Amino acid sequence: MSTSTTPAPPSGTQDPPPTGKAPRRTRPAARSGWRRALRRDWQLYSLAVLPLLFFLVFRYLPMIGNVIAFRRFEPGGSILGEEWVGLRYVRMFLTDPTFWQVFRNTLWLGGLTLLFCFPVPIVLALLLNEVRRRALKRFVQSVSYLPHFLSIVIVAGITLQMLATDGPVNHILSRLGHDPIRFIQEPEWFRTIYVGSEIWQTAGWGTILYLAALTTIDEDLYEAARIDGASRWRQIWHVTLPGIRPTMITLLILNIGTFMAVGFEKILLLYNPLTYPTADVISTYLYRTGVESNSFSYAAAIGLFEAVIGLVLITSANQLSRRSVGTSLW
């Protein structure tokens, strides 16, 4: 009767690793790779230090102050409030008729700004893209960019001087046989004035991203469209607009995120007590309530409410864009 023996493994070989979980990768290798990249590109990483400090100091640290929306704050006392009051200030602004008036004004101004100020840079970029004379194109770009570099104080001052009772606009109206219009004192004119000044100030600067996106479109697509007999309008509709669609969607999401943050400085400089019914928005109401009336906790509760709405809007717009168009911020 023969007995079988298992041959011994040859010398110099090792037993195969046991089945089961794979051996873990050593973390020191990853750490050393990160440190090596930091030593190699430390100049590039150093450029991010100041922006990170800016966001840390002026964006994230102030979020701690939102706690006073739920605590009673007194000037000169604790920076985080004196005592816990819960949702008292939230109930106060939800039952305040003045708050709902400024909330409606904010929605109106935000909606009109988004409706008119968002497409104007797109149209201007498409028109500039069709200009073949470089001198004319540069001149139009320089003229349209210039208002962006003016401070809001100067823009508001020019607007007030142009629309004053004895200003150039009323002089033209008087020459045409119309009576002078008190643009600055009439509440129904404020939204038109604000949106018009926003278009004048931001339209030219907003074309920069769209003009940059237009340069990335392949010229062969235009050549193929011309061969198929497409006119200039058809080329814009089927080639140009789809080419800049990702940029349009990204900027639209960002504008929706700042929908509630209507320009505080410009409204503060343009409005007056006579135009409060249409000009007073959440940001200006917060300024008068928090700074002038010293109701900091009440103002913090309203500001937190506004921030939550902005977060919901930008998240919803991002999800809708991802599902419908396939382009999103994250």
| pLDDT mean across residues, the chain | 85
Which fold, 83-324? MetI-like fold (1.10.3720)
pLDDT at site 12: 47
Task: Kindly provide the b/e burial profile for residues 242-251, where b requires at least 16 CB atoms within 10 angstroms of the residue's own CB.
Answer: ebbebbbbbb
Tell me the domain boundaries of the chain: 83-324
pLDDT of residue 19: 54
Q: What is the pLDDT of residues 283-319, one digit of tens each?
A: 899 888 888 888 888 888 988 888 888 888 888 888 8
Mean pLDDT of 88-112: 90
Average pLDDT over residues 134-148: 90
The residue with tokens 């900091």 is 296
Q: Long-range CB contacts (< 8 A, 24+ apart) of 41-50?
A: none
Tens digit of each residue's pLDDT (9 = 90 or more) over 49-59: 999 999 999 98
Residue spans of alpha helices (H) in 185-325: 190-214, 219-227, 232-235, 241-243, 245-257, 264-270, 276-279, 282-286, 296-324
